[in-house]
Structure 1
Amino acid sequence: MIRRLALMSLPLLLLGTVACTPETDRPAATGADTSTSRPSPFEECTSLVAEPGAVDTGTPQGDRLPELTLTCFTGGTPVALRDIPGPAVINIWASWCPPCRKELPAFQRLSEQTEGRLRVVGVNTQDSRSAAQSIGEDFGVRFPMLFDQGKAFQRALERNAFPMTVFVGADGGVRHIDTSGALDDAGLAGLVRQHLDIVVPA
């Protein structure tokens, strides 16, 4: 009888030894979850498709963005990263990343404070669309959002940090890639002024 009870309890003991890691907590990135019944909080990506000749094809100050095309979160025409008119700030984030969630409202405020002078673009990566949409709704994020089902953008940049923000000049050159952690309003404004020479109103 004692032996039988010991054998029955063995599976429970084994289950208790499984460690919880970010990998197991992370929702699976899937293309099957293509939409929800709710409208997307994010803007459409029409403003990210440059008019012919709008992007300077001369020698940029810094490396250009990768030759990579990503889908728009709201659908429509896919967006080639190199066609995004600068200056621009591109924030790479995921809903399962606490620092990403912390800094998203600062990026929304930046998009409002610099409207017409700076493009703020999000790239949601290694995430589910439903989780990203929920975060966008909760935090009032409305700037255009691209969807990177895997992490093609990060691989192209040869970086694997979260969160990550790419500062792109008017000439299309990458001026700075920030991986310092969650940015607040002051830190973000300082980086925009330092690398893009744009003053963000207080």
Structure 2
Amino acid sequence: MRAVTRRTAMKWGVRMAWHQGLLAVLLVMLVGPARAELAIPLGEGGDQLDVRVIEPPQGAPEDGPLVLWVVNQYGDLPGPESVALALARRGATVWMVDVMDSLFLPRSDVNVRNIDGEPVGSLIQRAVEAGRPTVVVAADRMAVPTLRGMRWWQERSDDPEALAGGVLIFPSLYRGAPVAGEEPELFSIIDATNLPVMLLQPERGVYRHRLLDLRERFLAAGSDLFVQVVPEVRDYYHMHLDEPQPETLEHLDRVMDDPAEARAVQSLPDDILRAIPLLAAAAHPTEVRPIDPERTTPVDRQTGLQPVEPQEAPAFELTDLEGNPQRLDPDFDGVQIVNFWATWCPACVEEIPSMERLASRYPDRLKIYAIAFKQSPEHLREFMQDFDVSFPVPVDPDGAVAAKYDAFAFPSSFLVAADGRIHYSVNAGIIWDTEEVDAIVRELLEIEPE
């Protein structure tokens, strides 16, 4: 039992006998998790990981699990912290570490994907010394440095079972966005991971249709992979809380706009705790898989319209917000732009006005299909009230059409010429009424330059 001094008792206004003061302080501590700080040295250069330790309330069993929470590249957010506090209330100790902050790294996609295995590996190495069931949790792009850290630790450990495994929430495991329509490439750490992993994949997430391929890659590497599809939510679902919930997750339906997201966040602490025994019981190979050095760095993102090898544009038939069927017109003597977007994507929204201005230049020879990715018509109708557009907004409810086009990033757009083939694509938001874009459109329309 933790010793409590008379001075501490006085601080709490307790002027009773010693045993009464001790009881009073313990009762206060039982209200919620306790917090502490921990510093873990990295190498010999003076760097260190600054770890926030969230402990269960006093009196909880001392052999509860240890959850290593690798903070997302965007830093501390109310949602993950609320989940961490809920884990502590369930008896887990949570170590939260912001690797980018500890290493003074700017919060860019490239910097995240370039983090090697030492930071998370050192975190694991320190954690397993306690001899408790230990799991490491990460989301989005932080999944890559987390897997690297698991392998880094595995290379140096004589007991790979000391770490139950990793829980990855909507992991982004790709080297970056390729030219729109081309197959993205996974980081080589996927093929070098054979420790057990649990994937929590949102049903409406961007990478949902790639889940089976990803599963095969993990299994081929020797990892015992577990997959849980989180129903009715999209990526970042646990990051959409505006205010921390330090005491309970029971009332999230009052503070979150999406009831499905509220349910998913409420379930997340138990999802993580249920994963620990599954991962711990899986195989933990001692042999470390080799890693391909050619696929360890991120690829440069392609910006602007890119010429592609002409290929037949996949057919589709969707319904727009007016209830009208929308499909590619095989007999259209002009350019058809197939655009995939979503209301949660700022770049998608920013390009809508310039897309409308381009459409107005060629009203008879340019068609635009702004296909909304996995969104409800009700939400879209309300959202589109702020925009005056002439082109249809078809709804791709399950992302099947986006998958046909191999749309990887959002927005993604494909320019289809009169021959029915894709000639240009772009996997980023652009300004559509520039001279450069106009020149490409006129080229496909076979109009002489002005």
Decide: shared fold, TM above 0.5.
yes
- CA–CA separation in structure 1 for the residues paired with 2:383 and 2:440: 25
- Structure 1 residue 111 displacement after superposition: 1.5
- CA–CA separation in structure 2 for the residues paired with 1:163 and 1:73: 19
In structure 2, the residue corresponding to 1:5 is in which secondary structure?
helix
1:2 aligns with 2:25: yes
97 and 173 in structure 1: CA distance in 2 versus 1, 3 angstrom threshold = same
196 and 163 in structure 1: CA distance in 2 versus 1, 3 angstrom threshold = farther
23 and 193 in structure 1: CA distance in 2 versus 1, 3 angstrom threshold = farther
CA contact (8 A) 2:409 2:428 kept: no
Q: Which string of whole-angstrom CA distances, capped at 9 and with x for unpartnered residues, describes residues 66-122 of structure 1? A: 23322222114x334465734211221111100011000011111211101211221
The residue number in structure 1 matching 2:101 is none
CA contact (8 A) 2:321 2:381 kept: no
- Structure 1 residue 127 displacement after superposition: 2.1
CA contact (8 A) 2:414 2:424 kept: yes
The residue number in structure 2 matching 1:74 is 322
TM-score between both structures, scaled by the size of structure 1: 0.67
Quote the sequence identity (%): 26
CA contact (8 A) 1:122 1:145 kept: yes
- CA–CA separation in structure 2 for the residues paired with 1:114 and 1:67: 23
The residue number in structure 2 matching 1:112 is 360
Larger radius of gyration: 2
Higher relative contact order (CA 8 A, sep 6+): 1
Alignment of 1:128-147 (within 5 A): 128-147=376-395
Aligned residues: 169
- CA–CA separation in structure 1 for the residues paired with 2:331 and 2:396: 16
What amino acid is aligned across from residue 140 of structure 1 in structure 2? D
| Root-mean-square deviation over aligned CA pairs | 3.5
195 and 117 in structure 1: CA distance in 2 versus 1, 3 angstrom threshold = closer
TM-score between both structures, scaled by the size of structure 2: 0.33
- CA–CA separation in structure 2 for the residues paired with 1:184 and 1:103: 7
110 and 176 in structure 1: CA distance in 2 versus 1, 3 angstrom threshold = same
In structure 1, the residue corresponding to 2:431 is in which secondary structure?
coil
Q: Which string of whole-angstrom CA distances, capped at 9 and with x for unpartnered residues, describes residues 114-138 of structure 1? A: 1012112211112232332233221
1:98 paired residue among 324, 328, 346: 346
Instruction: Name which of structure 1's ranges 65-74 and 91-100 shifts more when overlaid on structure 2.
Output: 65-74
- CA–CA separation in structure 1 for the residues paired with 2:25 and 2:430: 54
Alignment of 1:151-166 (within 5 A): 151-166=399-414
- CA–CA separation in structure 1 for the residues paired with 2:314 and 2:371: 14
Unaligned runs of 5+ in 1: 31-60
